[in-house]
Structures are given as C-alpha cells and as structure tokens.
A = this chain, B = another copy of it.
Amino acid sequence: MLLNLERLNARMAADGIDAVIATSPENVTYASGYWALSQWIRRGPQTYVVWPAPGRGAPHIIASASLLDLLADQEVSVSNIAKFGDFVVEIDDRAELCEADSRQRELYGLANDGSAGAALSRVLDRLGLAGGRIAVDEGGLPPSLAAFRLDKPPSIDAVDGFQFFRQVRAVKTPLEVERLRKAASIAEASIEAALAIAAPGVSEEQLALEFNLETLRLGGLPVLYCIGTGARSAMPNVQPASRKLREGDIIRFDVGGRYKHYRADIARIAVLGEPSEKIRSYHHALHVGVQRGIEMLKPGIKAAHIFDAVVETVRRDGIPHYKRTHVGHGIGIDGYDLPDLSPSSTDIIEEGMVLCVETPYYELGFGGLQVEDMVVVRHDGAETLMQSSGALRVIS
C-alpha cells in the first residue's frame, strides 16, 4: 500500500478526526492506489476517497462512471465504490469476459448517484459521519467549489485536509521508498544519457531530448528538466533552449520525472573541458554542504538546525556570501512533500521520511551550480537513494 495507514490513524486519533476526504489527484492515488487519468491531466474532473477513522466504517472511492475501467484494471486498495454520472459501455453477452472486464461490468452496474457531490453526501450519510469532524483535502475541489456544496450537505465540521494529508504523507511506506529509489535512478541514468552527447555545438534542447528519451525508455515520464548551459545555467528554472555548448561551460541539471506517479528531483553539475577555479571551489563548497546535511539527518533532529549547519558549511568551505531560503524538502507523490529544510521550519525529522537535500547557487553572468541528492531517513541516519556521487563531472 502507498498509504501509511498507521500514521493516518495515529494522526486522526491525535486530532480527533472522524474521517479524511481526499480530493486532489495526489491524495486520491496515495490513499487508494486509484489513478484517475482525467483528474491528473486536467483541472476539474472529480474523484474522492473517504477514509474513516478505525471503527467508523470502511473506506470508499467516489468515482466518475467514465473512469471505472481504470478502477477495474489497477491495483486499488479500496473496494467500496460510489459511482456518479453515466457512461456508455456495451457488453458482448456471448464473450467470456476476463477478470478486469467482469469487474468493469459490475462497476458499471452500480447506481448512478448523480453528481460527485451527491455521491459524496450519500457516502458520508451512509457512514454516519454527519456532525463529524472531517479533514477535507480542498486541493481537488472544482473551481466553482460547487461540488462541495453537497446536494444534501451533512453538517460536518471540516478542517484543512490538504495540510493533514501532507503530514501523513511525510513518512513513506516501503512501497513508496521503492518507487522513489527507482525514480531517482531513472533521473541519474537520464543525466548520463544526456552527458553522453555533450560536446561543443550541442544545444540545451538536444541534451534535454536525450534526457527525456532515456527517462521514457526506463519507464519514467518527463516532468522536470531544467537543463542550462554557460551563463544560462544561473536561471533557477532554466528551460532548455537553442544555446549551444562551448568549451568551459557549466551544464546544470535540476531534473526528475515520475515513476509510477512518484517524483524524482536531483541536481548534478558537469563542465565541458577544464573547470575554472571559481567553478571548482564553489562546487566543492556546495557538495560538502549537502554531505553535511545528509550526515546530520536522523530521527529527532530539527529541520531548521540542518538548514543552519548546511548554510554555515557552504560559507566556511568556499562561498562566504552563500544565502538560501531552504536547503531541501521532502519528496513523494508530490515534488514538495514535508519536511521543509528552512530556517523557519518547525518540522522534526522522522524515520521513513524521504528528502531532497540541496545547495543551489545562482549567479547571473557566471552560472549556476547545484548538488541535490535524494535520501531516506532510517533509525540510525540517512540512506542515500543515489548511485552517483555529487562531485563535479568533467567532460573531456
């Protein structure tokens, strides 16, 4: 299961929550395993998961009739389904239906609960959650907010479920760690594929194409591919353009796709030919900073404390004027999960968190340098999810 059920239940108990309702695609997939295509590629389509506290009933998915095929074809951990809307699918009565098709037939046969909001109302009613304190993830509610003006609104005491889900998702299950490890390794291999063609005259767009092709070949999907060369590498969110590589150029990768819905976000630096002394010394400081942060990661330590130590290390080791707003963040089904490694963060590191630790440096007119590693926190410290070193790569 992707869902950390133990943590969900503990937090529901601690906050006196009777049920949570997932509405954003990340939380729907996280809570149930159900990946409802339309809500991932558009804004508007509705899918919900209602997950009651222990003893308050069984979890339910509220699904559009037009997406029940995916429910039948995927590994979904929630078996109670409420359907809304109509969708026409014929059935060949003479054919022997396979398992997924039989399950589809069953799902299409469910009563149509009208709108998404009406179906949700009915589920809440059925579960006796009227008057309950419910964490509603507003992240996926429709633009007009109309769907959540339930047709027959049970009076619920709604609290901010988007943040509640972020808290639960902060500590990963083994299945999530496995996906994140794979996502990281795809990103690393894709950097190698791009660097394999790096030479004078090759454009950022060509590097990015090789990067994304390799991501696809390895089972990933392109999402983040900030790949900048020369002075353009200083652009924090640089999008690959026609600029061509020249001798001495920095190549900055701040990249990561999705693997089975889970994100990667890593950074590596290469230089075409001999790096300048400034590149070498600055990159060294940034690399040591990340290593310092990773060494410090263990259950119980304050995120803000890590921030201070990392910035201090980078300053001492080569960039005296180094400034940052954060030096890392959690990662999971969303690219920015908790915790947040920033000076104002109140987060405490816990076993099972997966983090990106990073020390980007952007200087217009010079270039950008960055090391970013993905790691998982174990009881005795951080285990890296990386296979490559964050050291400066020299392409000769």
**A residues bordering B, Cβ < 8 Å?**
24, 26, 37-38, 41-44, 66-67, 69-70, 72-74, 86-98, 100-101, 104-105, 137-140, 143-145, 160, 162-163, 209, 212-213, 216-217, 221-224, 226, 231-232, 234-239, 241, 321, 323-325, 334-336, 361-366
Contacts and interface: CB of A to CB of B under 8 A. Distances in A.
Interface centre among A98, A145, A217 (most CB of B within 10 A): A98
Given A138-B144, A145-B138, A241-B73, A362 B89 contact: yes
Contacts of A105: 364
A6 B312 CA distance: 55
Given A223-B41, A323-B88, A73 B364 contact: no
A222 B221 contact: yes
B90 A361 contact: yes
Contact of A92 (B70, B96, B217, B365): B365
A358 to B, nearest CB: 13
A97 B143 contact: no
A297 B123 CA distance: 43
A143 B24 contact: yes
Contacts of A72: 235
A395 B324 CA distance: 58
A41 B73 CA distance: 26
Given A336-B42, A364-B92, A209 B213 contact: no
Contacts of A87: 236, 325
Given A88-B324, A143-B162, A216-B209, A43 B69 contact: no
Nearest to A42: B335
Nearest to A162: B143
A69 B213 contact: no
Question: Closest 6 CB pairs between A and B?
Answer: A95-B365, A92-B365, A143-B162, A69-B235, A90-B363, A139-B143
B364 A67 contact: no
A88 B70 CA distance: 44
Nearest to A144: B160
B24 A69 contact: no
A263 to B, nearest CB: 9
Contacts of A137: 143
Given A217-B209, A231-B101, A364-B105, A67 B223 contact: no
Given A138-B144, A144-B162, A365-B97, A89 B236 contact: yes
